[in-house]
Amino acid sequence: MEQIVKALRPVAVLVAGIVVFVLGTAFVLAADATLASGSGTSGALADAGRWLQFLGTFGAFGAVCLAGWAAVTRSAWVAAAEIAAVALGALLLTIGFLASAASSGGSSAAPVVGAVGIGLWALLVLSRAARANLAEQASSGAAAIQSDLWLGAAGGLFVLAIGYGITAAAGSAGAGVAGGVLEAIGAGALTWAIVTARTRRLLDSKPVPSVLAGLVLLTASFLIAAVVAGLAFGTASALSIALTVVTTVELAGIVALGLAAWTRVAELYH
């Protein structure tokens, strides 16, 4: 899986995809901010934002495919198989965003498809945890302990997938709260895994701090979204302000992840 960020071209395409996704999220933010206007501006902005988010996700899928093709040309079949699993998850997530954009956010199947894609990533990380555990047992403690980190990351992705499916398809306040909390727990588990790996000196590259910042901000946005879902707003203006806060924090998290990818591009270029 780490092969995806080891070559310049896939990471550069990933940066381009994140830039488009950030632009789409900015449109969604503008839609939330104009929700109380009563005009059709908010809906138009939201639709444009969803289509841009789909294009950004498609760009990320393309980056994974580039990395997979490079592995195939090197006959690195194990890496190619792992990247193929990542690509399948990315494809499902992309299809979910496409369905959401095509239905103006009204598709109940879109979040489920995306959640399945994230679940596939969780299964892949879980298999890496099992392989790391076997390697640690064979080395009799000589190798650095990594299996618990992979296991924590797999658990985080599983919980995130469940929360994503519930939140985006929520039809009630309770479902929205539960989904947001689960997403926050999942993102928090991923943050813990990266922080622990950094403490053990398993991760020391320059993009790591930006990745951590992005995950922390996304965790915060999920928690705020859970709170917003559980509140009853008396006016459209109050709801607009609350949604704007959620999307602003989410946008900041995505920008931080984009900066991490750009830092990786700079490292590979030089």
Place of tokens 């792992």: 82
Q: How far apart are CA 81 and CA 97, in angstroms?
A: 25
The confidence score (pLDDT) of residue 140 equals: 61
The confidence score (pLDDT) of residue 75 equals: 84
Inter-CA distances, 163 with 180, 183, 222, 253, 264, Å: 6, 5, 10, 18, 29
**Token reading at 49:** 């934002």
**Token reading at 241:** 């302000």
**Token reading at 12:** 């550069």
Domain ranges of the chain: 2-269
Question: The dihedral of CA 163, 167, 172, 177: what is its sign?
Answer: positive
Using alpha carbons only, give the angle 270, 59, 64 rounded to the nearest 5 degrees.
70
**Which amino acid is present at 156?**
G
**Token reading at 163:** 């929360």
Q: How far apart are CA 32 and CA 35, in angstroms?
A: 5
List average pLDDT for each run of 10 residues in the chain, which is 270 residues long. 78 95 96 82 92 96 92 86 93 94 86 93 92 78 73 95 80 81 96 92 87 96 92 82 94 95 86
Residue 109, helix vs strand vs coil = helix
Contacts of 265-268 with CB under 8 Å at 24 or more apart are: 265/8, 265/11, 265/12, 265/15, 267/205, 267/206, 267/207, 268/6, 268/7, 268/8, 268/11
The confidence score (pLDDT) of residue 142 equals: 47
Inter-CA distances, 197 with 78, 191, 212, Å: 23, 10, 12
Q: Which residues contact 3 (CB under 8 A, 6 or more apart)?
A: 67, 70, 71, 76, 79, 82, 83
